[in-house]
Amino acid sequence: MLKFLKQVTDYTKEAVQAARFIGQGLSVTFDHMQRRPITVQYPYEKLIPSERFRGRIHFEFDKCISCEVCVRVCPINLPVVDWEFNKETKKKKLNHYSIDFGVCIFCGNCVEYCPTNCLSMTEEYDLSTYDRHELNFDNVALGRLPYKVTEDPMVQPLRELAYLPKGVLDPHGLPPGSRRAGKLPEEILEEAEGNGAK
């Protein structure tokens, strides 16, 4: 009988504890309701991509020496380099170059290894099209420069979380001259050089 009573009390305790935990969870959810939304309303507001953002790849046709390093370092050999050997100058002549961004994973290996720096990353990331074949960029399309978010009059640029002043979580309505938390890279560099001079 006592054992049974103990079971009943244990069960009741567990039930009460479960109810308390549910109440705790509810209070957390309720607390979240009065926080400001962190939504970035995309087509009208855009986050400023960070310096090392890996977006759509930019290609400079004239710099390319058709070495095909980009093809070799690419995980899936994606770039298509169409060249022919010019016997008179004994140099490769590039005819066409293309990358299919429907397949590219934006790993940046090609940019990293390109010996003449003719490949570079841009800030462009909204590549949506109605046909996936339109994502296959040829050398003309690859050579276009994207709009900068900060210069687009249609878009309100917003800073990313790491670029906000200390303690600020909401990028909306920052005062114009506000600085990000911590030192800027050039400041760190300057300090290091100053130390080195001493």
Partner 1 sequence: MNSGIDLQGSFIQLLVDLGLSAEAARVVWLPLPMLLVLVGATLGVLVTTWLERKISAAAQQRIGPEFAGPLGMLIPIADGLKLLVKEDIIPAKADSLLFTLGPAIVVIPVFLSFLIVPFGQNLLITDLGIGIFLWISLSSIAPIGLLMAGYASNNKYSLLGGLRAAAQSISYEIPLALSVVAIAMMSNSLSTVDIVQQQSGYGILGWNVWRQPIGFLIFWIAALAECERLPFDLPEAEEELVAGYQTEYAGIKFGLFYLGSYVNLVLSSLFVSVLYLGGWNFIIPIEVLADWLGVSESTPWLQVITGSLGIIMTLLKAYLLVFLAILLRWTLPRVRIDQLLDLGWKFLLPVSLVNLLLTAALKLAFPFAFGG
Interior/surface letters 168-190, b for 16+ CB within 10 angstroms, e for the rest: eeebeeeeeeeeeeeeeeeeeee
Compute the chain's Rg from CA coordinates.
28
Pick from 9, 10, 15, 140 the residue near partner 1 by CB under 8 A.
15
- Residue with smaller CB distance to partner 1, 26 or 161: 26
Q: Choose between 25 and 115: whose C-beta lies nearer to partner 1.
A: 25
Minimum gap (Å) between residue 28 Cβ and partner 1: 7
Tell the smallest beta-carbon distance from residue 10 to partner 1 (Å).
Answer: 14
75 is an interface residue for partner 1 by CB under 8 A? no
Q: Which amino acid is at 9?
A: T
Closest CA to 79 of 63, 93, 59, 50: 59
DSSP secondary structure letters along 39-67: ---TTTEEEPPPTT---SEEE-GGG----
Comparing CB distances to partner 1, the nearer of 38 and 181 is 38
Closest to partner 1 by CB, 39 or 117: 39
102 backbone dihedrals φ, ψ, rounded to 5°: -75, -20
User: Rule CB under 8 A: which of 28-67 touch partner 1?
Assistant: 28-30, 32-33, 35-39, 41
Least distance to partner 1 from the beta carbon of 197, Å? 48
The footprint of partner 1 (CB under 8 A) covers 15, 22, 25-26, 28-30, 32-33, 35-39, 41
